[in-house]
Amino acid sequence: TKQIVLASRPNGIPTLNDFRSENIELNDLKKGEVLLKGLYYSVDPYMRGRMNEGKSYVPQFELDQPIEGGVLATVVESKSDLFKTGDTVLGALPWSEQMIASEKGLQKIESTVESLTYYLGILGMTGLTAYFGLMQIGKPKAGETVVVSGAAGAVGIVVGQLAKIQGARVIGIAGSDEKVKMLKEEFGYDEVVNYKTNTNMKSTIAKLCPNGVDVYFDNVGGSISDAVIENLNFHSRIALCGQISLYNSTEIPMGPRIQPMLLTRSVLMQGFIINNFQKDFPEGIAHLSKWVNEGKLKFTETIVEGFDQLPTALLGLFKGENNGKMIVKR
Ligand code: NDP
């Protein structure tokens, strides 16, 4: 079977040369194991951090070893009592066309919604990230103003709609005019700014948020966040979800010193990783699926065809090539 391994650790922006495709023979199945065929592979910004050497909240990828991520797969053969041939499972699995996996850590997917791929997006890790980051840290109230950066991505597109369900006014920040149009026309954002063409983000945010910003859901960091932070209200909240604008930086740029803003306005800023909320995942999934089934929560995906396209799709996240969740279909 074919697998894709980490060939070298990138310095700055990764390139396709940092990946290598190779053929391997799979071992025989042992008791408690299943043979899987990958269906859909999730590519996510946090994978960039795992390409670096060093300790973080997820282990680094090892050189010459397969990249690993969220994968939806079909059971081809089973020596497990928990899974049978034909089952669909979700797990943290290698970038391999077929793989042997232990039954431990695999989750059986009984699709009740139209699309299986939703379990990599709105009903999976990114949907839960939007849900818990907004509801437990941002805590928007009706009538408040919520700003979301990375608004057209997998997490952002859900955050905006959840904030609308809470009765907030929602302003998005995204990287193209097409994304601006999509968020306003299809996903209920009240206003959206294209940060790539805007020449004064601070004053634009001020204009679009005449009552100031009560909640900032930050997916990107850097100068975009500096501009939002200057418009924060007294007792506002920042849900610090991601910093994608800095993931390829070799040196972290310093922004304006934000302490005066946070201190004098009594701002609450909390970083989080989604696993902090693991025990509440069933509650999150229940809410998200209910809203999806009721048509209150919509989603979109960019599905790239072909296993070999995995590295290209991952790198595409850093060029804004996706609307909603970026997924690769084998
Ligand atoms: P997205 O689907 O949002 O994909 C990434 C998007 O980021 C791109 O489409 C692009 O959109 C934008 N982007 C890329 N480079 C830059 C840049 N230099 N400046 C501004 N925007 C940029 O990814 P996810 O929704 O999966 O993740 C969003 C964020 O949330 C990431 O930072 C991720 O690391 C984080 N995250 C955190 C989790 C947690 O547990 N805390 C869990 C999951 C995700 P555009 O065209 O608008 O530039």
User: Model confidence at 56, in pLDDT bands (50, 70, 90)?
Assistant: confident
Contact between 183 and 189 under an 8 Å Cβ cutoff? The reply is yes
- The pTM for the full model equals 0.97
- The pLDDT mean for the chain works out to 96
Asked which of 54-58, 131-135, 185-189 is least confident by mean pLDDT, the reply is 54-58
Ramachandran angles phi, psi of 54, nearest 5°: 130, 160
Which token pair is 156? 């952002």
273 lines ligand 1 (CB under 6 A): yes
Of 43, 182, 244, 246, the residue with max ligand 1 atoms within 8 A of its CB, to mutate for a pocket test, comes to: 244
318 lines ligand 1 (CB under 6 A): yes
Contact between 67 and 95 under an 8 Å Cβ cutoff? The reply is yes
Fold for the domain defined by 2-120+300-329: Quinone Oxidoreductase; Chain A, domain 1 (3.90.180)
State in Å: Cα 24 to ligand 1 middle: 33
Of 155, 273, 274, the residue with max ligand 1 atoms within 8 A of its CB, to mutate for a pocket test, comes to: 155
- By percentage, how much of the chain surpasses pLDDT 90? 92
Task: Give the other-Cβ count within 10 Å of 13's Cβ.
Answer: 14
Assign domain 125-275 to its CATH superfamily: NAD(P)-binding Rossmann-like Domain (3.40.50.720)
272 lines ligand 1 (CB under 6 A): yes
User: Model confidence at 253, in pLDDT bands (50, 70, 90)?
Assistant: confident
Contact between 246 and 222 under an 8 Å Cβ cutoff? The reply is yes
For position 115, what pLDDT does the model report?
86
Q: Is the ipTM of this complex over 0.95?
A: yes
State in Å: Cα 102 to ligand 1 middle: 31
Query: What are the boundaries of each domain within the chain?
Result: 2-120+300-329, 125-275
For position 256, what pLDDT does the model report?
67
241 lines ligand 1 (CB under 6 A): yes
DSSP of 97-132: SEEEEESTT-EE----SS-GGGGGTTTSHHHHHHHH
Of 50, 220, 318, the residue with max ligand 1 atoms within 8 A of its CB, to mutate for a pocket test, comes to: 220
User: Model confidence at 282, in pLDDT bands (50, 70, 90)?
Assistant: very high
Q: Which of 317, 280, 302, 270 shows the shortest CA–CA distance to 131? A: 280
Q: Which of 245, 248, 207 shows the shortest CA–CA distance to 226? A: 245
User: Model confidence at 153, in pLDDT bands (50, 70, 90)?
Assistant: very high
Q: Determine the Cα–Cα distance for residues 201 and 208; give it in Å rounded to an integer.
A: 10
242 lines ligand 1 (CB under 6 A): yes
